[in-house]
Structure 1
Amino acid sequence: MRVVFMGTPEFSVPALRALVAAHDVVAVYSQPPREAGRGQKPRPSAVQAAAEALGITVRTPLRLRDAVAQAEFVALGADVAVVVAYGLILPQPVLDAPRLGCLNIHASLLPRWRGAAPIHRAVMAGDAEIGVAIMQMEAGLDTGPVLAEARTTIGAEETTADLHDRLAGMGADLIVEVLAGLPMTAVPQSGAGVSYAAKIDKAEARIDWTRPAVEIDRQIRGLSPFPGAWCEIGAERVKLLRSRLANGQGAPGEVLSGFRIACGAGAVEITEAQRSGKKPMAARDLLRGWALPARLS
């Protein structure tokens, strides 16, 4: 099958590699290189780097709304386009061009968590389950009918990073299965249970110790590794990357023992953190030679 692949971040790479192994990927579309690193030099996306290593032509248009870009897409003669966290809206001429349409791998169990940050939002909301859905794309935001889905539970101590890697692999396996079964019947999404996964705002990352422990634990795990929930310890901003619920009560922000912190109700134990300018470390290693104050802010 002639496949056009459209994706940008690391989450998309396993699906690209799986499709290259099973089909003829005739072109890859990705977001243009962005300035990054100390030198602020343009850096290709994870998908562009992976595709070029595989010897596949990569296109990085700023938009797909002009006639020239759309004509170039149509000229590829694709049977299907597979879209995974691409980052650009596909206009109707692009959606209509492939013989079997455009399929999206979305990291949620639609219609729950349509939008930009489904994994973060699922963890932060305390969902017990998450998954990937293969959706037939249409003009609305993640509103298209679903061809297939795969589910997995969210562990009590799992972070967005943990689920990101697992779901990326699940999506790669599932898209290969779906392409092998095309054409197949898609099921319209239910109008009930719709929720939107808004893009994460960095303002959401500061920890308010007056909130219940269950909410703070979800915040820490849901925002790990990026942007990273944080608090001030002394005069230093420290990212808290892994946590679990713990026994104990005290004034909000009070250090009960080790890295166990009292919240508005209950307590959380921090199991991994990152000091400013340093690498993430297990809490037990971080506390060697570093004494916490009596209270965090």
Structure 2
Amino acid sequence: MEGPPWRILFFGSDDFSLKALIALTDEFKRSEKLISKLDLMFIDDESVAWKYANEHRLNRIAYPPESSTGLRDNYDIGVVASFGAMLRNDLIKEFPLGILNAHPSLLPRWRGASPIPHAIMHGDTETGVTIMKIKPDEFDTGDILMQTRTKIGPHEHTPELLSRLADESANLVLDVIKDLPKSVQNLTPQGNENATYGKDMLLPF
């Protein structure tokens, strides 16, 4: 596949998403040598990601789209960060380079919707961010492109750790994009031997 520049569809919603979206937008507006197109797919038009995209005049597409037909002609790769929904198979298959997910844990540990509070609640001393390639019909099981580690402070709570991991996520996403298409070819399978799953949590830690 030719490139860069790359055409990216970003899937995001909350504060964790926002850091990566800001990093991609800054790169997109700085120069189109790396990113020539950046759009947002959203679930909630009241989300911070939607509001940021609107403010910075990024095209916004509601999920689920009526049809995924044509995405292949408009985008090279998708990037997900805390989107809030499992993506449809027909949509995943439309991206020539696939769809990447920035997940705030050391996968396969703490798959699922609330990895940060689970890491704190279970006394983990370190965590990190994993960039993985999304698999159809599976949740947080995809092959790993990059992973970074960080210590969890003895008195650190979810908001502080989330903010740090969001910053790291933004850096990793840019690193992956800068190394395309090589970065999506050098993959490491997760395996299930040491996998843990953290269910969605309402209580803060």
Distance in 2 between residues matched to 1:153 and 1:126, nearest whole Å: 12
For residues 1-297 of structure 1, the aligned pairs below 5 Å read 1-22=6-27, 23-33=35-45, 44-61=46-63, 63-64=64-65, 68-71=66-69, 74=71, 77-139=74-136, 140-183=138-181, 184=183, 185-201=186-202, 205=203, 223-224=204-205
Identity among equivalent positions (%) equals: 33
Report the secondary structure of 1:71's partner residue.
Answer: coil
Contact 1:104 1:134 in 2 (8 A): yes
- Deviations 1:15-37 (CA, angstroms, capped at 9, x unpaired): 0011122223432011123xxxx
Distance in 1 between residues matched to 2:36 and 2:13, nearest whole Å: 19
Contact 1:5 1:81 in 2 (8 A): yes
Equivalence for 1:288: none
Report the secondary structure of 1:178's partner residue.
Answer: helix
Aligned residues: 189
Contact 2:86 2:139 in 1 (8 A): no
- Deviations 1:114-170 (CA, angstroms, capped at 9, x unpaired): 000000100000000010000000021100000001110000000010100000000
Change (3 A) 1:76 1:4: farther
Contact 1:129 1:151 in 2 (8 A): yes
Deviation >6 Å, runs of 4+: none
Code of the residue aligned with 1:192 in structure 2: it is E
TM-score normalised by length of structure 1: 0.61
CA shift, 1:79, in A, is 1.0
Contact 1:118 1:197 in 2 (8 A): yes
Distance in 2 between residues matched to 1:191 and 1:200, nearest whole Å: 22
Distance in 2 between residues matched to 1:151 and 1:87, nearest whole Å: 24
What root-mean-square deviation, in Å, do the aligned CA atoms of Structure 1 and Structure 2 show?
1.5
Equivalence for 1:265: none
- Deviations 1:167-189 (CA, angstroms, capped at 9, x unpaired): 00000000100111122311000
Unaligned runs of 5+ in 1: 34-43, 206-222, 225-297
Code of the residue aligned with 1:147 in structure 2: it is L
Equivalence for 1:41: none
CA shift, 1:52, in A, is 0.8
Distance in 2 between residues matched to 1:170 and 1:48, nearest whole Å: 21
Distance in 2 between residues matched to 1:76 and 1:52, nearest whole Å: 23
- Deviations 1:5-64 (CA, angstroms, capped at 9, x unpaired): 00011110110011122223432011123xxxxxxxxxx101001111111011223x35
**Rg larger for:** 1
Distance in 1 between residues matched to 2:159 and 2:180, nearest whole Å: 32
Code of the residue aligned with 2:20 in structure 1: it is A
Greater fraction of residues in strand: 1
